[in-house]
A and B are shown apart, each in its own frame.
Chain A
Amino acid sequence: MIYPILRRLAQMLFVMFGISVIVFLIFFATPGADPAARIAGRNASPEVLEAVRHSFGFDRPLYVQYALMMQKIFVTGDLTSFVNRGWKVVPAVLDSIPVTLSLVFGAAVLWVVFSILIGVVAAATRDSWLDKLLMALGLLGISMPVYWVGEVMNLVSQSRYHDTWLFSWVPPLGYVNFSDDPKGWFLALVIPWITLSILYIGIYGRVLRAAIIESMQEDYIRTARAKGLSETRILLRHALRTSLIAFVTLFGLDFGALVGGSALLTEVVFGLQGIGKLTYDALQSLDLPMIMATVMYASMFVVIANAVVDFVYILLDPRVKTS
Chain B
Amino acid sequence: MILSVRDLKVSFRTDDGIVRAIDGVSFDLAEGEILGVVGESGSGKTVSLLAVMGLITDPNAVIEGSIRYKGRELVGLPASELRLLRGNEIAMIFQDPMTALTPVYTIGWQIAEQIRAHQRISKAAAMKRVEELLAEVNFPNPHEAMSRYPHQLSGGMRQRAVIAMALSCSPALLVADEPTTALDVTVQAGILDLVRKLRATHNSAVVFITHDMGVVSELADRVMVMYAGRIVERGSRQDLFADSLHPYTRALLGSIPPLTGDKPHRLPAIPGSPPSLLRLPKGCAFAPRCPVRYEPCDLGKPALGDGNHAAACFRTAQP
Contacts and interface: CB of A to CB of B under 8 A. Distances in A.
A227 B100 CA distance: 11
Interface in B108-122: 113-114, 117-118
A318 B165 contact: no
Contact of A220 (B57, B87, B103): B103
15 contacts: A219-B94, A220-B103, A223-B165, A224-B102, A225-B55, A225-B57, A225-B86, A226-B55, A226-B92, A228-B84, A228-B114, A229-B113, A230-B117, A237-B113, A241-B102
Contact of B101 (A223, A230, A319): A223
A322 B151 CA distance: 10
A132 interface: no
A211 B99 CA distance: 17
Interface string B191-212: 0000000000000000000000
Nearest to B93: A226
Q: Which of A223, A226, A231, A316 is most buried by chain B, counting CB atoms within 10 A of its CB?
A: A226
Contact of B102 (A228, A230, A242): A242
Contacts of B94: 219, 222-223, 226
Given A226-B55, A318-B149, A219 B99 contact: yes
A95 interface: no
A316 B105 CA distance: 10
Nearest to A216: B57
Contact of A227 (B99, B103, B105, B113): B113
A76 to B, nearest CB: 48
A219 B83 CA distance: 18
A322 B152 CA distance: 8
A228 B103 contact: no
A245 interface: yes
A218 interface: yes
Interface of B: 53, 55, 57, 79, 83-88, 91-92, 94, 96, 99-105, 113-114, 117-118, 149, 151-152, 162, 165-166
A242 B104 contact: yes
Interface of A: 218-220, 222-231, 233, 237-238, 241-242, 245, 316-319, 322
A228 B104 contact: no
Contacts of A316: 104
A317 B104 contact: yes
Given A219-B94, A222-B94, A318-B149, A227 B114 contact: yes
Nearest to B57: A225
Nearest to B53: A226
A228 B99 contact: no
Nearest to A323: B151
